[in-house]
Structure 1
Protein backbone atom coordinates (compact mmCIF):
# COMPACT_ATOMS: atom_id res chain seq x y z
CA UNK A 1 0.00 0.00 0.00
CA UNK A 2 1.26 3.45 -0.90
CA UNK A 3 1.09 6.09 1.84
CA UNK A 4 0.79 9.81 1.35
CA UNK A 5 2.82 11.16 4.26
CA UNK A 6 1.34 14.60 3.74
CA UNK A 7 -1.97 13.16 4.91
CA UNK A 8 -2.35 12.80 8.68
CA UNK A 9 -4.57 9.72 8.41
CA UNK A 10 -1.99 7.97 6.22
CA UNK A 11 0.77 8.75 8.70
CA UNK A 12 -1.31 7.38 11.58
CA UNK A 13 -2.15 4.23 9.63
CA UNK A 14 1.49 3.71 8.70
CA UNK A 15 2.62 4.05 12.32
CA UNK A 16 -0.07 1.69 13.60
CA UNK A 17 0.91 -0.92 11.00
CA UNK A 18 4.56 -0.44 11.94
CA UNK A 19 3.70 -1.18 15.55
CA UNK A 20 1.81 -4.32 14.56
CA UNK A 21 4.77 -5.46 12.47
CA UNK A 22 7.22 -4.92 15.32
CA UNK A 23 5.01 -6.72 17.83
CA UNK A 24 4.68 -9.72 15.53
CA UNK A 25 8.43 -9.84 14.88
CA UNK A 26 9.18 -9.58 18.58
CA UNK A 27 6.50 -11.65 20.30
CA UNK A 28 5.85 -14.30 17.65
CA UNK A 29 9.09 -14.54 15.67
CA UNK A 30 11.17 -13.69 18.77
CA UNK A 31 13.71 -11.63 16.87
CA UNK A 32 15.81 -9.58 19.33
CA UNK A 33 16.58 -6.87 16.78
CA UNK A 34 12.85 -6.40 16.15
CA UNK A 35 12.12 -6.37 19.89
CA UNK A 36 14.56 -3.48 20.21
CA UNK A 37 12.78 -1.68 17.38
CA UNK A 38 9.53 -2.25 19.24
CA UNK A 39 11.06 -0.67 22.33
CA UNK A 40 12.17 2.33 20.28
CA UNK A 41 8.70 2.55 18.73
CA UNK A 42 7.01 2.53 22.14
CA UNK A 43 9.48 5.09 23.42
CA UNK A 44 9.61 7.57 20.57
CA UNK A 45 6.23 7.17 18.85
CA UNK A 46 3.87 6.08 21.61
CA UNK A 47 5.74 7.83 24.46
CA UNK A 48 4.89 4.78 26.58
CA UNK A 49 8.08 4.62 28.61
CA UNK A 50 6.83 1.94 30.98
CA UNK A 51 6.15 -0.54 28.18
CA UNK A 52 9.32 0.47 26.34
CA UNK A 53 11.36 -0.17 29.49
CA UNK A 54 9.81 -3.61 29.90
CA UNK A 55 10.68 -4.50 26.29
CA UNK A 56 14.27 -3.29 26.65
CA UNK A 57 14.64 -5.14 29.97
CA UNK A 58 13.40 -8.46 28.57
CA UNK A 59 15.42 -8.07 25.39
CA UNK A 60 18.57 -7.50 27.41
CA UNK A 61 18.04 -10.14 30.08
CA UNK A 62 16.58 -12.92 27.91
CA UNK A 63 18.10 -12.25 24.50
CA UNK A 64 21.31 -10.37 25.38
CA UNK A 65 20.68 -7.68 22.78
CA UNK A 66 23.44 -5.13 23.53
CA UNK A 67 21.60 -1.95 22.56
CA UNK A 68 18.63 -2.94 24.73
CA UNK A 69 21.00 -3.41 27.67
CA UNK A 70 22.22 0.14 27.13
CA UNK A 71 18.66 1.48 26.94
CA UNK A 72 17.38 -0.30 30.06
CA UNK A 73 20.52 0.91 31.80
CA UNK A 74 19.48 4.45 30.93
CA UNK A 75 15.98 3.83 32.28
CA UNK A 76 17.29 2.29 35.49
CA UNK A 77 19.88 4.95 36.24
CA UNK A 78 17.21 7.66 36.48
CA UNK A 79 14.11 5.62 37.29
CA UNK A 80 12.44 6.23 33.95
CA UNK A 81 9.34 4.34 32.83
CA UNK A 82 8.52 3.28 36.42
CA UNK A 83 11.82 1.40 36.67
CA UNK A 84 13.26 1.67 40.16
CA UNK A 85 16.24 4.03 40.21
CA UNK A 86 19.22 1.83 40.95
CA UNK A 87 22.72 2.88 39.89
CA UNK A 88 24.22 -0.50 40.72
CA UNK A 89 21.70 -2.37 38.57
CA UNK A 90 22.09 0.21 35.81
CA UNK A 91 25.82 -0.43 35.88
CA UNK A 92 25.19 -4.18 35.51
CA UNK A 93 23.08 -3.54 32.42
CA UNK A 94 25.71 -1.20 30.99
CA UNK A 95 28.46 -3.69 31.71
CA UNK A 96 26.57 -6.45 29.95
CA UNK A 97 25.96 -4.21 26.95
CA UNK A 98 29.60 -3.19 26.88
CA UNK A 99 30.80 -6.78 27.01
CA UNK A 100 28.46 -7.50 24.09
CA UNK A 101 30.05 -4.71 22.05
CA UNK A 102 27.77 -1.70 22.68
CA UNK A 103 30.15 1.27 22.92
CA UNK A 104 27.58 3.66 24.43
CA UNK A 105 27.15 1.18 27.28
CA UNK A 106 30.91 1.17 27.82
CA UNK A 107 30.85 4.95 28.09
CA UNK A 108 28.10 5.06 30.69
CA UNK A 109 29.53 2.16 32.69
CA UNK A 110 32.95 3.80 32.71
CA UNK A 111 31.55 7.16 33.76
CA UNK A 112 29.55 5.64 36.61
CA UNK A 113 32.77 4.27 38.07
CA UNK A 114 34.93 7.36 37.50
CA UNK A 115 32.55 10.33 37.68
CA UNK A 116 33.03 12.97 40.38
CA UNK A 117 29.25 13.40 40.50
CA UNK A 118 28.29 12.87 44.15
CA UNK A 119 24.73 11.94 43.13
CA UNK A 120 25.99 8.69 41.62
CA UNK A 121 25.31 6.08 44.29
CA UNK A 122 27.81 3.40 43.35
CA UNK A 123 31.25 2.47 44.63
CA UNK A 124 33.98 4.13 42.62
CA UNK A 125 36.23 1.60 40.95
CA UNK A 126 38.40 3.85 38.86
CA UNK A 127 40.67 1.21 37.37
CA UNK A 128 37.70 -0.80 36.09
CA UNK A 129 36.09 2.42 34.86
CA UNK A 130 39.19 3.32 32.89
CA UNK A 131 39.27 -0.19 31.40
CA UNK A 132 35.64 0.18 30.31
CA UNK A 133 36.33 3.54 28.68
CA UNK A 134 39.33 1.99 26.93
CA UNK A 135 37.06 -0.81 25.73
CA UNK A 136 34.63 1.77 24.34
CA UNK A 137 37.49 3.58 22.67
CA UNK A 138 38.56 0.33 21.01
CA UNK A 139 35.00 0.22 19.63
CA UNK A 140 35.61 3.67 18.11
CA UNK A 141 33.51 5.71 20.53
CA UNK A 142 34.87 9.25 20.42
CA UNK A 143 33.71 10.24 23.89
CA UNK A 144 35.21 7.12 25.48
CA UNK A 145 38.54 8.00 23.92
CA UNK A 146 38.20 11.65 24.98
CA UNK A 147 37.28 10.93 28.60
CA UNK A 148 39.97 8.32 29.11
CA UNK A 149 42.48 10.72 27.58
CA UNK A 150 41.38 13.32 30.13
CA UNK A 151 41.89 10.88 32.97
CA UNK A 152 45.47 10.28 31.89
CA UNK A 153 46.09 14.02 31.47
CA UNK A 154 45.65 14.59 35.19
CA UNK A 155 45.64 11.11 36.75
CA UNK A 156 43.50 10.10 39.73
CA UNK A 157 45.66 10.27 42.85
CA UNK A 158 43.22 8.57 45.22
CA UNK A 159 42.89 5.65 42.80
CA UNK A 160 46.64 5.36 42.16
CA UNK A 161 46.13 6.09 38.47
CA UNK A 162 49.18 8.07 37.43
CA UNK A 163 49.29 10.90 34.97
CA UNK A 164 50.42 9.46 31.65
CA UNK A 165 50.74 11.95 28.82
CA UNK A 166 51.74 9.29 26.30
CA UNK A 167 48.44 7.48 26.85
CA UNK A 168 46.59 10.79 27.01
CA UNK A 169 48.02 11.70 23.62
CA UNK A 170 47.22 8.30 22.10
CA UNK A 171 43.61 8.35 23.19
CA UNK A 172 43.21 12.05 22.49
CA UNK A 173 44.48 11.62 18.95
CA UNK A 174 42.02 8.80 18.32
CA UNK A 175 39.16 10.84 19.78
CA UNK A 176 40.12 13.66 17.44
CA UNK A 177 40.18 11.32 14.46
CA UNK A 178 36.68 10.20 15.49
CA UNK A 179 35.45 13.79 15.41
CA UNK A 180 35.75 15.13 18.97
CA UNK A 181 36.79 18.75 18.61
CA UNK A 182 37.87 19.16 22.24
CA UNK A 183 40.22 16.22 21.82
CA UNK A 184 41.66 17.90 18.72
CA UNK A 185 42.28 21.03 20.81
CA UNK A 186 44.00 18.98 23.49
CA UNK A 187 46.15 17.21 20.91
CA UNK A 188 47.11 20.60 19.50
CA UNK A 189 48.35 21.74 22.90
CA UNK A 190 50.22 18.49 23.47
CA UNK A 191 52.09 19.01 20.22
CA UNK A 192 52.76 22.65 21.09
CA UNK A 193 54.19 21.73 24.50
CA UNK A 194 55.77 18.41 23.60
CA UNK A 195 53.63 16.54 26.14
CA UNK A 196 53.08 12.87 25.40
CA UNK A 197 54.66 13.30 21.99
CA UNK A 198 57.55 15.10 20.36
CA UNK A 199 57.11 18.86 20.23
CA UNK A 200 55.91 19.86 16.77
CA UNK A 201 54.57 23.36 16.28
CA UNK A 202 53.45 22.63 12.73
CA UNK A 203 51.28 19.72 13.83
CA UNK A 204 50.09 21.78 16.77
CA UNK A 205 48.80 24.42 14.40
CA UNK A 206 47.29 21.75 12.16
CA UNK A 207 45.22 20.25 14.96
CA UNK A 208 44.29 23.69 16.27
CA UNK A 209 42.96 24.57 12.84
CA UNK A 210 41.09 21.28 12.68
CA UNK A 211 39.47 21.93 16.07
CA UNK A 212 38.41 25.41 15.02
CA UNK A 213 36.95 24.08 11.76
CA UNK A 214 34.93 21.54 13.76
CA UNK A 215 33.80 24.30 16.10
CA UNK A 216 32.71 26.52 13.24
CA UNK A 217 30.76 23.69 11.65
CA UNK A 218 28.88 23.07 14.90
CA UNK A 219 28.29 26.77 15.48
CA UNK A 220 26.44 26.90 12.17
CA UNK A 221 23.96 24.44 13.65
CA UNK A 222 24.12 25.66 17.27
CA UNK A 223 24.92 29.39 17.33
CA UNK A 224 25.14 29.49 21.14
CA UNK A 225 28.04 27.03 21.37
CA UNK A 226 31.33 28.47 22.63
CA UNK A 227 34.68 26.90 22.06
CA UNK A 228 37.41 26.59 24.67
CA UNK A 229 40.74 25.48 23.35
CA UNK A 230 42.37 22.78 25.39
CA UNK A 231 39.26 22.00 27.39
CA UNK A 232 39.87 19.08 29.66
CA UNK A 233 37.13 16.52 30.17
CA UNK A 234 35.58 16.16 33.62
Structure 2
Protein backbone atom coordinates (compact mmCIF):
# COMPACT_ATOMS: atom_id res chain seq x y z
CA UNK A 1 0.00 0.00 0.00
CA UNK A 2 2.04 2.92 -1.32
CA UNK A 3 1.57 6.53 -0.27
CA UNK A 4 1.66 8.93 -3.28
CA UNK A 5 4.09 11.84 -3.49
CA UNK A 6 3.04 15.12 -1.91
CA UNK A 7 4.32 18.68 -1.80
CA UNK A 8 4.67 19.02 1.97
CA UNK A 9 5.14 22.78 1.64
CA UNK A 10 1.43 22.94 0.77
CA UNK A 11 -0.67 22.80 3.97
CA UNK A 12 -3.57 20.94 2.36
CA UNK A 13 -1.27 18.34 0.81
CA UNK A 14 0.68 17.99 4.05
CA UNK A 15 -2.53 17.21 5.95
CA UNK A 16 -3.56 14.71 3.28
CA UNK A 17 -0.13 13.08 3.51
CA UNK A 18 -0.39 12.69 7.27
CA UNK A 19 -3.86 11.22 6.94
CA UNK A 20 -2.66 8.68 4.40
CA UNK A 21 0.50 7.77 6.28
CA UNK A 22 -1.68 7.00 9.31
CA UNK A 23 -3.81 4.72 7.12
CA UNK A 24 -0.62 3.08 5.82
CA UNK A 25 0.66 2.35 9.34
CA UNK A 26 -2.72 0.93 10.38
CA UNK A 27 -2.67 -1.32 7.33
CA UNK A 28 0.85 -2.53 8.18
CA UNK A 29 -0.13 -3.21 11.77
CA UNK A 30 -3.61 -4.71 11.51
CA UNK A 31 -3.68 -6.23 7.99
CA UNK A 32 -0.06 -7.22 7.46
CA UNK A 33 0.44 -8.06 11.16
CA UNK A 34 3.80 -6.27 11.10
CA UNK A 35 5.33 -5.57 14.51
CA UNK A 36 7.40 -2.76 12.99
CA UNK A 37 4.26 -1.34 11.42
CA UNK A 38 2.48 -1.39 14.79
CA UNK A 39 5.39 0.43 16.40
CA UNK A 40 5.33 3.03 13.63
CA UNK A 41 1.58 3.43 14.15
CA UNK A 42 2.10 4.02 17.88
CA UNK A 43 4.83 6.56 17.14
CA UNK A 44 2.46 8.28 14.72
CA UNK A 45 -0.32 8.38 17.31
CA UNK A 46 2.13 9.80 19.83
CA UNK A 47 4.07 12.36 17.82
CA UNK A 48 1.59 13.50 15.17
CA UNK A 49 -1.88 12.98 16.63
CA UNK A 50 -0.83 13.46 20.27
CA UNK A 51 -3.23 10.67 21.23
CA UNK A 52 -1.21 9.21 24.08
CA UNK A 53 -3.94 6.86 25.28
CA UNK A 54 -4.20 5.11 21.90
CA UNK A 55 -0.42 5.15 21.50
CA UNK A 56 -0.01 3.50 24.90
CA UNK A 57 -2.44 0.74 23.95
CA UNK A 58 -0.65 0.02 20.66
CA UNK A 59 2.79 0.00 22.30
CA UNK A 60 1.53 -2.35 25.02
CA UNK A 61 -0.21 -4.72 22.59
CA UNK A 62 2.80 -4.77 20.27
CA UNK A 63 4.97 -5.73 23.21
CA UNK A 64 2.60 -8.32 24.68
CA UNK A 65 1.55 -9.97 21.43
CA UNK A 66 4.49 -9.39 19.09
CA UNK A 67 7.41 -9.24 21.56
CA UNK A 68 8.73 -6.05 19.95
CA UNK A 69 11.41 -4.76 22.33
CA UNK A 70 11.25 -1.09 21.39
CA UNK A 71 7.49 -1.06 22.03
CA UNK A 72 8.05 -2.70 25.43
CA UNK A 73 10.51 0.08 26.25
CA UNK A 74 8.11 2.80 25.11
CA UNK A 75 5.21 1.40 27.13
CA UNK A 76 7.52 1.08 30.13
CA UNK A 77 8.22 4.80 29.83
CA UNK A 78 4.50 5.52 29.54
CA UNK A 79 3.98 3.66 32.82
CA UNK A 80 6.77 5.66 34.47
CA UNK A 81 5.21 8.96 33.38
CA UNK A 82 1.55 8.01 33.61
CA UNK A 83 1.20 9.10 30.00
CA UNK A 84 -1.94 7.77 28.34
CA UNK A 85 -2.28 5.20 31.11
CA UNK A 86 -2.04 4.81 34.87
CA UNK A 87 1.37 5.45 36.41
CA UNK A 88 2.60 2.08 37.74
CA UNK A 89 6.28 1.60 38.51
CA UNK A 90 6.07 -2.15 39.01
CA UNK A 91 4.53 -2.49 35.54
CA UNK A 92 7.11 -0.08 34.12
CA UNK A 93 9.87 -2.29 35.49
CA UNK A 94 8.25 -5.39 33.99
CA UNK A 95 8.14 -3.85 30.53
CA UNK A 96 11.68 -2.47 30.69
CA UNK A 97 12.97 -5.88 31.79
CA UNK A 98 11.11 -7.49 28.89
CA UNK A 99 12.59 -4.93 26.47
CA UNK A 100 16.01 -5.81 27.84
CA UNK A 101 15.42 -9.54 27.47
CA UNK A 102 14.34 -8.93 23.87
CA UNK A 103 17.64 -7.20 23.17
CA UNK A 104 16.60 -3.53 23.37
CA UNK A 105 19.39 -2.08 25.50
CA UNK A 106 17.71 1.17 26.63
CA UNK A 107 15.29 -1.13 28.44
CA UNK A 108 18.21 -2.67 30.36
CA UNK A 109 19.41 0.81 31.29
CA UNK A 110 15.98 1.91 32.52
CA UNK A 111 15.47 -1.31 34.48
CA UNK A 112 18.76 -0.51 36.21
CA UNK A 113 17.62 3.01 37.02
CA UNK A 114 14.37 1.71 38.53
CA UNK A 115 16.17 -0.87 40.67
CA UNK A 116 18.82 1.64 41.75
CA UNK A 117 16.27 4.32 42.51
CA UNK A 118 14.12 2.13 44.72
CA UNK A 119 11.09 2.88 42.58
CA UNK A 120 9.78 -0.65 43.16
CA UNK A 121 10.51 -1.93 46.65
CA UNK A 122 13.89 -1.33 48.29
CA UNK A 123 16.85 -0.09 46.30
CA UNK A 124 18.73 -3.01 44.75
CA UNK A 125 22.10 -1.74 43.52
CA UNK A 126 23.39 -5.20 42.69
CA UNK A 127 20.43 -5.78 40.37
CA UNK A 128 20.83 -2.28 38.94
CA UNK A 129 24.50 -2.99 38.20
CA UNK A 130 23.56 -6.26 36.50
CA UNK A 131 21.32 -4.42 34.05
CA UNK A 132 23.76 -1.56 33.50
CA UNK A 133 26.54 -4.01 32.69
CA UNK A 134 24.31 -5.94 30.29
CA UNK A 135 23.56 -2.70 28.47
CA UNK A 136 27.24 -1.78 28.47
CA UNK A 137 28.30 -5.17 27.15
CA UNK A 138 26.00 -4.47 24.21
CA UNK A 139 27.64 -1.09 23.59
CA UNK A 140 24.99 1.14 25.15
CA UNK A 141 27.03 4.05 26.46
CA UNK A 142 24.69 5.07 29.27
CA UNK A 143 24.82 1.59 30.75
CA UNK A 144 28.62 1.85 30.90
CA UNK A 145 28.42 5.31 32.43
CA UNK A 146 25.94 4.22 35.11
CA UNK A 147 28.00 1.12 35.95
CA UNK A 148 31.11 3.26 36.35
CA UNK A 149 29.17 5.65 38.59
CA UNK A 150 28.14 2.85 40.94
CA UNK A 151 31.73 1.69 41.24
CA UNK A 152 32.99 5.24 41.79
CA UNK A 153 30.62 5.97 44.65
CA UNK A 154 30.10 2.49 46.05
CA UNK A 155 26.68 1.38 47.21
CA UNK A 156 25.11 -1.35 49.29
CA UNK A 157 26.23 -4.70 47.83
CA UNK A 158 28.38 -2.86 45.25
CA UNK A 159 31.74 -2.00 46.88
CA UNK A 160 33.67 0.98 45.59
CA UNK A 161 36.12 -0.24 42.95
CA UNK A 162 38.01 2.42 41.03
CA UNK A 163 39.68 -0.09 38.69
CA UNK A 164 36.26 -1.27 37.50
CA UNK A 165 35.00 2.30 37.46
CA UNK A 166 37.91 3.18 35.17
CA UNK A 167 37.17 0.23 32.87
CA UNK A 168 33.54 1.20 32.38
CA UNK A 169 34.31 4.92 32.13
CA UNK A 170 36.77 4.25 29.31
CA UNK A 171 34.22 2.20 27.40
CA UNK A 172 31.50 4.82 27.92
CA UNK A 173 33.92 7.45 26.65
CA UNK A 174 34.80 5.36 23.61
CA UNK A 175 31.08 5.06 22.89
CA UNK A 176 30.72 8.86 22.94
CA UNK A 177 29.84 9.85 26.51
CA UNK A 178 31.60 13.13 27.24
CA UNK A 179 31.00 12.93 31.01
CA UNK A 180 32.74 9.56 31.07
CA UNK A 181 35.68 11.06 29.14
CA UNK A 182 35.93 13.78 31.79
CA UNK A 183 35.91 11.12 34.52
CA UNK A 184 38.68 9.18 32.77
CA UNK A 185 40.72 12.38 32.59
CA UNK A 186 40.35 12.93 36.33
CA UNK A 187 41.21 9.30 37.09
CA UNK A 188 44.45 9.58 35.12
CA UNK A 189 45.20 12.89 36.81
CA UNK A 190 44.69 11.51 40.32
CA UNK A 191 45.81 7.94 39.73
CA UNK A 192 42.39 6.55 40.73
CA UNK A 193 41.94 3.01 39.43
CA UNK A 194 44.78 3.46 36.99
CA UNK A 195 48.40 4.58 37.00
CA UNK A 196 48.73 8.36 37.09
CA UNK A 197 49.44 9.77 33.63
CA UNK A 198 49.29 13.51 32.91
CA UNK A 199 49.52 13.03 29.14
CA UNK A 200 46.53 10.70 29.00
CA UNK A 201 44.65 12.90 31.44
CA UNK A 202 45.06 15.82 29.05
CA UNK A 203 44.09 13.64 26.08
CA UNK A 204 40.78 12.64 27.62
CA UNK A 205 40.17 16.16 28.88
CA UNK A 206 40.48 17.47 25.33
CA UNK A 207 38.26 14.68 24.05
CA UNK A 208 35.56 15.66 26.53
CA UNK A 209 35.94 19.32 25.54
CA UNK A 210 35.60 18.53 21.83
CA UNK A 211 32.43 16.55 22.52
CA UNK A 212 30.99 19.39 24.62
CA UNK A 213 31.85 21.93 21.89
CA UNK A 214 30.12 19.76 19.28
CA UNK A 215 26.98 19.54 21.44
CA UNK A 216 26.96 23.31 22.03
CA UNK A 217 27.42 23.95 18.31
CA UNK A 218 24.53 21.63 17.45
CA UNK A 219 22.30 23.38 20.00
CA UNK A 220 23.18 26.81 18.61
CA UNK A 221 22.45 25.61 15.06
CA UNK A 222 19.08 24.21 16.15
CA UNK A 223 18.15 27.45 17.93
CA UNK A 224 19.10 29.48 14.86
CA UNK A 225 17.13 27.15 12.59
CA UNK A 226 14.04 27.47 14.77
The TM-score by the shorter chain falls in which range? over 0.9
Structure with more helix by fraction: 2
Check conservation: 1:66, 1:102, Cα contact below 8 A: yes
Equivalent residue for 2:131?
Answer: 132
Separation in 1, partners of 2:75, 2:157? 32
Separation in 2, partners of 1:142, 1:122? 27
Separation in 2, partners of 1:41, 1:193? 50
Equivalent residue for 1:60?
Answer: 63
**TM-score normalised over the length of structure 2:** 0.92
Deviations 1:106-163 (A, max 9, x none): 11110011127xxx3433221111100111111211111111101101110xx22111
Structural mapping, 1:1-234, within 5 Å: 1-81=4-84, 83-115=85-117, 120-156=119-155, 159-222=156-219
Separation in 1, partners of 2:219, 2:49? 29
Q: Secondary structure at the match of 1:128?
A: helix
Shift of 1:222: 3.8
Q: Secondary structure at the match of 1:62?
A: helix
Separation in 2, partners of 1:184, 1:52? 37
**TM-score normalised over the length of structure 1:** 0.89
Q: Structure 2: give runs of 5+ residues left out of the alignment.
A: 221-226
Size of the aligned set, in residue pairs, is: 217
Separation in 2, partners of 1:34, 1:2? 20
Q: Secondary structure at the match of 1:101?
A: coil
Check conservation: 1:152, 1:168, Cα contact below 8 A: yes
Q: Structure 1: give runs of 5+ residues left out of the alignment.
A: 224-234
Quote the RMSD (CA, aligned, Å): 1.3
Check conservation: 1:103, 1:141, Cα contact below 8 A: yes
Check conservation: 1:74, 1:90, Cα contact below 8 A: yes
Separation in 1, partners of 2:172, 2:105? 14
